[in-house]
Chain A
Amino acid sequence: MLRVIFKKQMGIKLLLEKDKIENIRTYEVYRREGGYRSVEKAFKMSPSDIVEEVKKSGLRGRGGAGFPTGMKWSFLAKPEGVPRYLVCNADESEPGTFKDRYLMEYIPHLLIEGLIVSSYALGSNRTYIYIRGEYAWIVDILEQAIAEANANGWLGKNILGSGFDCQIYVQRGAGAYICGEETALLESLEGKRGNPRIKPPFPAVKGLWDCPTVVNNVETLAAVVPVLNMGGEAYAKIGVGRSTGTKLISACGNINKPGVYEIDMTISVEEFIYSDEYCGGIANGKRLKACIPGGSSVPILPANLLLKTAKGETRYMNYESLAEGGFATGSMMGSGGFIVLDEDQCVVKHTLTLAHFYRHESCGQCSPCREGTLWMDKILKNIETGKGKMSDIDLLWDVQRRIEGNTICPLGDAAAWPVAAAIRHFRDEFEWHITHAEEAQTRNFGLAHYADPLEVTASA
């Protein structure tokens, strides 16, 4: 049994520092606790100074791709007389991810505050929050917070005498993962089917109603608040390397304490899983088998490659370390959806549910994605239900390879990667499902060798 003592020091919190304060959801309490200071500060600065601060902070997009936010903002085209838009991506539909929901549900004013500062920095007078349709009750929470912000002079015309006008609207989606992809989101916001657009042109030039647009994730925009309050340089000192600031991780699966955690990106994966401050270890005294550390689209890793890199170094919860080893032996931070599987879980079945998900969510525009996701779902279903052939594994590999890189939007890749990684690391479990078709209906392959320490080779 793994027992490690971790340093008893609470991590730095910038977003969820006050989430447990009673009634922090209301304007009065939020303001009393120092809320909206960043707006006061922002209006004493020029919009371009704010963009500079965000650049200095090193803040990277929290929606999945990790693109530097300040840089994205500086790409926004500013033609004379054309409105610009900021759109907050609250579509949150990547399996394993439920962090934006937590933020909006418990500290809605933090998002509204971040949106006001960001709207001012980008010159957006109408800002939209596009939220997944199923989060219906959160729409009410956000609209309440927006009404309170309006009533207290933080939104509307000539905010704080700055001459800047801004209004925030909440737009509900209607059930489509693809609408989290930024151009599909814009199509949907225009009242159309969520079919991704071909890029270029990028939204920064031609976005919502053909106007220059920035799309950012909920957490990214909330993080603008601490960036402004503490200054970009101070924010950049938290974390490590290019993983600056803090990150929300939504942890789920077979752990003792599923939930949303804010981490500074210096802790190890092992500490995150086993420390009582975070996941609290694997549930029911079981052993760790595998983990998808950044939402369903990122590669799954067996326990041994999760806790240590192929070079035998400790793996940390940050962008670089999680990606260490590339697709051969690493994974990604992605959206921060941390899915933990214990020794009793079947990787084939888990991968099947994901393939099924992508099949359901493909918008159908590109044939490699539309057909490929269908085939992956079918082949995996056969293997899982004991009707698979050995050649199916190679076929599956082939199908995923034909999707990757051949589609309009990254959903195709997102569907291919989990399947590729599952075969790459768990091929013997797939084979066992075929050679032991009957037995596989009654029991799981188990932990096998997936947690055994790996031999470290000098070249790895």
Chain B
Amino acid sequence: MFDNKEYSVVQFTEDKMIKVREMIARYPEGKQKSALLPLLHLAQETFGGWLSVETMDYVASLLKLNPIEVYEVATFYSMYNLKPVGKFVFEVCQTGPCMVKGSDDIIAYIKQKLNIGVGETTADGLFTLKAVECLGACGYAPMMQLGKHYKEHLTREKVDAIIEECRGKAVRLVSAD
């Protein structure tokens, strides 16, 4: 799950900068543009779960790129969010193998339970629902991605439990502040 702490300026901490330098060192001299995808992932995790123009410009400056080179990339790949999303993003796979195992039902259930449509976020900003394409878990269908991990063999009961777990985490995050 992405870092939910409030940040006032878009700037990596010194800890994260160590990681950034280590990422850039994976490529030969002068090929630092290759670090763009990994850096965008790191930036998205760090700065609220999505890529604002400010964030993208910051990444461009770190890699000495024109901002447009970053926008081009950020808009191409489906994992980069160009708009704010909920704290927990349910990405339910809807492709054939998951469909034959009931992904439609799971999506319908989540819609009803959270009272949102696909692509929408709950009013409290906690949950976003997305219908996505094959995630490489076809044998463990129906399934969804939640942050860094997969939730597989979904049933309505499992969805209930996942939602409860997320709500619990959200409460802990707030009280930790």
Partner of B100 from A136, A259, A350 at Cβ < 8 Å:
A350
Q: Does B54 lie at the interface of the complex (its beta carbon under 8 Å from any beta carbon of A)?
A: no
Binary flags per residue of A334-375, CB closer than 8 Å to B gives 1, else 0: 000101010001000110011011001101000000000000
Q: Does A96 lie at the interface of the complex (its beta carbon under 8 Å from any beta carbon of B)?
A: yes
Interchain CB contact under 8 A, A191 and B37: yes
Which 8 A-B residue pairs are closest in the complex by CB-CB distance?
A174-B77, A175-B78, A258-B139, A191-B36, A175-B79, A191-B33, A252-B138, A95-B134
Q: Does A278 lie at the interface of the complex (its beta carbon under 8 Å from any beta carbon of B)?
A: no
- Which A residues are in CB contact (< 8 Å) with B99? 349-350, 353
Interchain CB contact under 8 A, A133 and B77: yes
Q: Does A173 lie at the interface of the complex (its beta carbon under 8 Å from any beta carbon of B)?
A: yes
Q: A134-B79, A174-B79, A175-B77 are known contacts. Are A341 and B100 too (CB-CB below 8 A)? A: yes
**Could you list some 11 contacts between A and B, CB below 8 A?**
A95-B96, A96-B97, A98-B137, A137-B149, A175-B77, A175-B79, A176-B78, A190-B33, A259-B139, A354-B96, A363-B76
Q: Does A97 lie at the interface of the complex (its beta carbon under 8 Å from any beta carbon of B)?
A: yes
Interchain CB contact under 8 A, B138 and A194: no
Interchain CB contact under 8 A, B72 and A353: no
Q: A250-B138, A252-B139, A258-B140 are known contacts. Are A173 and B33 too (CB-CB below 8 A)? A: no
> Given the complex of chains A and B, what is the CA–CA distance between A94 and B149 in angstroms?
19
Interchain CB contact under 8 A, A191 and B78: no
- Which A residues are in CB contact (< 8 Å) with B36? 191
> Given the complex of chains A and B, what is the CA–CA distance between A98 and B134 in angstroms?
10
Interchain CB contact under 8 A, A353 and B94: yes
Partner of B135 from A134, A251, A253, A292 at Cβ < 8 Å:
A134
> Given the complex of chains A and B, what is the CA–CA distance between A259 and B73 in angstroms?
34
> Given the complex of chains A and B, what is the CA–CA distance between A130 and B94 in angstroms?
24
Interchain CB contact under 8 A, B135 and A339: no
Partner of B138 from A96, A192, A356, A361 at Cβ < 8 Å:
A96
Q: How many interface residues does chain B have, given as a range? A: 35 or more
Q: A134-B136, A339-B97 are known contacts. Are A172 and B28 too (CB-CB below 8 A)? A: no
- Which B residues are in CB contact (< 8 Å) with A217? none
B94, B133, B141 interface centre (most CB from chain A within 10 Å) = B133
> Given the complex of chains A and B, what is the CA–CA distance between A361 and B73 in angstroms?
15
Interchain CB contact under 8 A, A357 and B136: no
> Given the complex of chains A and B, what is the CA–CA distance between A341 and B98 in angstroms?
11
Q: Does B95 lie at the interface of the complex (its beta carbon under 8 Å from any beta carbon of A)?
A: yes
Q: Does A229 lie at the interface of the complex (its beta carbon under 8 Å from any beta carbon of B)?
A: no
> Given the complex of chains A and B, what is the CA–CA distance between A356 and B34 in angstroms?
30
A242 to chain B minimum Cβ distance, whole angstroms, is 28
Report the nearest A residue to B37, measured CB to CB.
A174
- Which A residues are in CB contact (< 8 Å) with B69? 191
B55 to chain A minimum Cβ distance, whole angstroms, is 15
- Which A residues are in CB contact (< 8 Å) with B129? none
Interchain CB contact under 8 A, A174 and B97: no
Report the nearest A residue to B30, measured CB to CB.
A209
Q: Does A118 lie at the interface of the complex (its beta carbon under 8 Å from any beta carbon of B)?
A: no
B142 to chain A minimum Cβ distance, whole angstroms, is 11
B132 to chain A minimum Cβ distance, whole angstroms, is 8
| Contacts beyond the supplied A95-B97, A251-B139: 14 A-B pairs with Cβ under 8 Å | A126-B26, A126-B27, A136-B148, A171-B38, A172-B37, A174-B37, A175-B79, A175-B80, A177-B133, A190-B33, A191-B35, A350-B99, A353-B96, A354-B95
- Which A residues are in CB contact (< 8 Å) with B35? 191
Interchain CB contact under 8 A, B37 and A188: yes
Q: Does A450 lie at the interface of the complex (its beta carbon under 8 Å from any beta carbon of B)?
A: no
Partner of A169 from B26, B73, B138 at Cβ < 8 Å:
B26
**Contact residues, A185-223 vs B (CB, 8 A):** 188-194, 209
> Given the complex of chains A and B, what is the CA–CA distance between A209 and B31 in angstroms?
8
> Given the complex of chains A and B, what is the CA–CA distance between A337 and B140 in angstroms?
13
Interchain CB contact under 8 A, B141 and A252: yes
Interchain CB contact under 8 A, A95 and B40: no
Report the nearest A residue to B137, measured CB to CB.
A98
Report the nearest B residue to A349, measured CB to CB.
B99
Interchain CB contact under 8 A, A250 and B94: no
A407 to chain B minimum Cβ distance, whole angstroms, is 18
Interchain CB contact under 8 A, B138 and A173: no
> Given the complex of chains A and B, what is the CA–CA distance between A187 and B157 in angstroms?
43
Q: Does A93 lie at the interface of the complex (its beta carbon under 8 Å from any beta carbon of B)?
A: yes
- Which B residues are in CB contact (< 8 Å) with A363? 76
Q: A134-B135, A176-B78, A361-B133 are known contacts. Are A252 and B148 too (CB-CB below 8 A)? A: no
Q: Does B122 lie at the interface of the complex (its beta carbon under 8 Å from any beta carbon of A)?
A: no
Q: Does A164 lie at the interface of the complex (its beta carbon under 8 Å from any beta carbon of B)?
A: no
**Contact residues, B62-114 vs A (CB, 8 A):** 63, 69, 72-73, 76-80, 94-97, 99-101
Partner of A174 from B41, B101, B139, B140 at Cβ < 8 Å:
B41
Q: A95-B95, A172-B38, A174-B77 are known contacts. Are A357 and B133 too (CB-CB below 8 A)? A: yes
Q: Does A69 lie at the interface of the complex (its beta carbon under 8 Å from any beta carbon of B)?
A: no
Q: Does B4 lie at the interface of the complex (its beta carbon under 8 Å from any beta carbon of A)?
A: no
Binary flags per residue of B118-136, CB closer than 8 Å to A gives 1, else 0: 0000000000000001111
> Given the complex of chains A and B, what is the CA–CA distance between A360 and B130 in angstroms?
14
**Contact residues, B119-177 vs A (CB, 8 A):** 133-141, 145, 148-149
> Given the complex of chains A and B, what is the CA–CA distance between A251 and B80 in angstroms?
30
